[in-house]
């Protein structure tokens, strides 16, 4: 089934295109718009749509999608967990936090739980070095983590 935007999203795309000197420069915001319109992921049809609308090759658009970690090529879980693995977090135990998340959720990095509730990811830096180790769940930061705090966070998310 071909990807299409709603009338509202089409207006947003037109507005996005008006802000840039050329269509290629609008690629990232156009992809974000399409990802949000498509349930937080970019299907092959959505990638083709962006390529056609921006007059770019599908390979170029796919290259952008695969380069940036905030684009999803598969439907993610309801909640996305990003464990920071930069030096500050690593020195404060982010490796143990990541390992705990993997065991608790039963998935590896980049995978989604069988029930579709959680996708586990790592990030190079989430800019919270002074409160390491930390992770971002959806748009919320959780800092100075311990395995017990992670369990509390996950239990709280499981109720929703």
Residue among 11, 87, 71 nearest 38 (CA) = 71
Q: Where in the chain is the domain with CATH 3.40.30.10?
A: 79-158
CB 126 within 8 A of CB 82: yes
Res 160 pLDDT > 60:
no
- CA triple 43-48-51, angle to 5 deg: 130
- C-alpha distances (whole Å) from 67 to each of 47, 62, 121 are 14, 8, 15
pLDDT class of 69 with cuts at 50, 70, 90:
confident
- The correct CATH number of 7-67 out of 1.10.3470, 1.10.10, 2.115.10, 3.10.260 is 1.10.10
Answer whether 85's CB lies under 8 Å from 122's CB: yes
Q: Tell me what percent of the residues of the chain surpass a pLDDT of 90.
A: 94
Summarised one tens digit per residue, pLDDT across range 116-137 is 999 999 999 999 999 999 999 9
Beta-strand runs (E) in the chain: 79-84, 118-123, 135-137, 140-142
Residue-wise pLDDT for 16-42, tens only, equals 999 999 999 999 999 999 999 999 999
What is the architecture, at CATH level 2, of domain 79-158?
3-Layer(aba) Sandwich (3.40)
pLDDT digits (tens, 9 = 90+) for 70-106: 899 999 999 999 999 999 999 999 999 999 999 999 9
CA nearest neighbour of 34 among 10, 67, 59, 1: 10
Q: CATH 1.10.10 spans which residues of the chain? A: 7-67
- Taking the C-alpha atoms of residue 20 and residue 10, their distance in angstroms, rounded to an integer, is 16
Cis amide linkage into residue 133, ω under 30° from 0: yes
């Amino acid at each position: 089934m071909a990807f299409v935007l709603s009338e509202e999203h089409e207006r947003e795309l037109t507005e996005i295109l008006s802000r840039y000197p050329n269509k290629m420069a609008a690629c990232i915001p156009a992809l974000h718009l399409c990802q949000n319109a498509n349930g937080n992921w970019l299907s092959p049809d959505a990638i083709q749509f962006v390529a056609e609308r921006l007059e770019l090759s599908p390979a170029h658009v796919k290259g952008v999608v695969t380069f940036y970690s905030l684009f999803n090529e598969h439907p993610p879980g309801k909640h996305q967990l990003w464990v920071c693995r930069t030096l500050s977090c690593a020195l404060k135990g982010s490796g143990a936090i990541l390992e705990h998340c993997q065991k608790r959720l039963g998935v590896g990095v980049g995978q989604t739980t069988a029930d579709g509730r959680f996708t586990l990811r790592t990030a190079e830096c989430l800019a919270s070095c002074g409160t390491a180790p930390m992770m971002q769940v959806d748009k919320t930061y959780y800092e100075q983590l311990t395995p017990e705090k992670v369990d509390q966070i996950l239990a709280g998310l499981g109720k929703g």
